């Protein structure tokens, strides 16, 4: 009997933002956005293995304002 299972996903798991918890100014035209996220729509084969929609995790993103709107420059997952 195998002591591990290999599972190849045909599509990546999709992250979803659950809640924006704060937005602060970093510099002119730069914002830090703190938010909570989790993976959405966990496929049924993963659910059967006990991999289910988890509690949201903390993260933050740095956004910069350009001529055409805001762009994400950096994302830090896990509150780092």
User: What does the pLDDT look like over 13-65, one tens digit per residue?
Assistant: 888 999 999 999 999 999 999 999 998 888 777 777 777 777 899 999 999 99
> CA torsion 32→34→39→41, rounded to 10°?
-90
Instruction: Collapse the DSSP code of 38 into the 3-class scheme (helix H, G, I; strand E, B; otherwise coil) and give the result.
Output: strand
Q: Taking the model in full, what pTM does it have?
A: 0.74
Residue 80 has pLDDT above 50, yes or no: no
């Amino acid at each position: 009997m195998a002591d591990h299972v290999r599972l190849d996903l045909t599509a990546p798991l999709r992250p979803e933002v659950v809640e924006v918890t704060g937005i602060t100014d970093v510099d002119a035209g730069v914002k830090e956005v703190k938010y909570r996220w989790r993976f959405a729509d966990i496929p049924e084969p993963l659910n059967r293995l006990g991999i289910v929609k988890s509690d949201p995790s903390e993260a933050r993103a740095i956004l910069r304002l350009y001529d055409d709107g805001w762009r994400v420059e950096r994302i830090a997952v896990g509150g780092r």
